[in-house]
């Protein structure tokens, strides 16, 4: 059995590590916090990020990242986007040998790096000098951990590697599709978090089902416009990592980003919300990157712009909603 290292022991990293360990793979998960690693090793649970879920006896954890990757045939990064560069650069600098040429890196993070506008796989490829594959789709970690039916995609340039990863991740409850557009998958996975904040605001303001349906639909158009401008394939956005992920994240309070929006809509400040959350809501940082990227590429993204204004300039959610509806009339498709 190949040795698998999962880098990041948040809810999604722990869930993926557990899924793979249940399949019989040798899996080690790197945790930034020593107490998380110890809880996984000795209590077989992650009470901070994945409470009330029993983990496989075979799953082990470490807070030493070099220990995690030293034998790894597969490296799965589940590090929050804004920390990928520091985590993997530090790891690379400490390596006294090159990674196995056969090692395969998979990114399961979602977001856009501030300043560089790079997706998680782009950051990893720059640092590790290897092609990176992307695991994405509509997933709440807790439901996968509870073995509820889920479908995702694995995407990347190599057909053989995609098929291999498809087999590795697939289970009776975790169905994996494959395609060759990792950029589209990552743009969909990043911007949907911004739209989910808007959806949370929409529901908090009790604007109704009509408004939320319109918001999700127009949000998908923003994702498609940006993705196509960056070179992604349009069809990707109608799939699991596009529409599927967007719909899930915009319609449930299990979504951290939806919850951020809901709390903003109820009058809390972004500072209050951020301080109270142990896990990172990627849409907060992504709204800044996406807004700057839309300006750079001259892509119209009005919902993203309003969320950026609410988060970074204190615009009221009520005014943001009003301004979206008051925009100049135009064709639906352009």
Measured in degrees and rounded to the nearest 5, phi and psi for residue 314 equal 75, 20
The question of whether 192 is a catalytic residue gets the answer: yes
Going by C-beta distance under 8 Å and a sequence separation of 6 or more, which residues neighbour residue 333? none
Long-range contacts of 309-317 (CB under 8 A, 24+ apart): 310/201, 310/264, 310/270, 311/197, 311/264, 311/270, 311/284, 311/287, 312/287, 312/288, 314/269, 317/201, 317/204, 317/205, 317/264, 317/265
Q: Which of 192, 275, 315, 330 is catalytic?
A: 192
End-to-end CA distance of the chain: 51
Other C-beta atoms closer than 10 Å to the C-beta of 56 total: 16
Q: What is the dihedral of CA 276, 242, 165, 25, to 10 degrees?
A: 30
Distance, CA of 95 to CA of 240 (rounded, Å): 36
Residues annotated as catalytic (active site), given as ranges: 192
């Amino acid at each position: 059995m190949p040795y698998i290292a999962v880098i990041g022991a948040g809810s999604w990293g722990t869930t993926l590590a557990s899924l793979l360990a249940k399949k019989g793979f040798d899996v080690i998960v790197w945790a930034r916090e020593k107490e998380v690693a110890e809880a996984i090793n000795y209590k077989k649970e992650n009470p901070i990020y994945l409470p009330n879920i029993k983990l496989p006896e075979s799953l082990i954890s470490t807070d030493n990242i070099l220990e995690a990757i030293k034998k790894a045939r597969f490296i799965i990064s589940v590090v929050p986007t804004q920390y990928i560069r520091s985590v993997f650069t530090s790891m690379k600098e400490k390596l006294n040998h090159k990674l196995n040429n056969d090692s395969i890196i998979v990114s399961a993070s979602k977001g856009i790096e501030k300043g560089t506008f790079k997706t998680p796989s782009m950051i990893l490829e720059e640092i590790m000098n290897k092609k990176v594959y992307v695991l994405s789709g509509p997933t709440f970690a807790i439901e996968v951990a509870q073995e509820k039916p889920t479908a995702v995609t694995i995407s990347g340039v190599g057909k053989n590697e995609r098929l291999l990863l498809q087999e590795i991740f697939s289970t009776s409850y975790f169905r994996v599709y494959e395609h060759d557009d990792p950029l589209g998958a990552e743009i969909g996975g990043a911007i949907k978090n911004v739209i989910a904040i808007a959806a949370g605001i929409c529901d908090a303001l009790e604007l109704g089902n009509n408004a939320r349906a319109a918001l999700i639909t127009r949000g998908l158009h923003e994702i498609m416009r940006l993705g196509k401008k960056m070179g992604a394939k349009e069809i990707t956005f109608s799939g699991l990592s596009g529409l599927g992920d967007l719909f899930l994240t915009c319609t449930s309070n299990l979504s951290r980003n939806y919850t951020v929006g809901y709390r903003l809509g109820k009058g809390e400040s972004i500072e209050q919300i951020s301080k109270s959350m142990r896990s990172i809501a990627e849409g907060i940082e992504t709204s800044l990157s996406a807004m700057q990227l839309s300006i750079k590429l001259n892509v119209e993204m009005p919902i993203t712009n309003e969320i950026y204004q609410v988060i970074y300039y204190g615009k009221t959610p009520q005014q943001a909603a009003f301004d979206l509806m008051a925009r100049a009339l135009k064709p639906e498709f352009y």
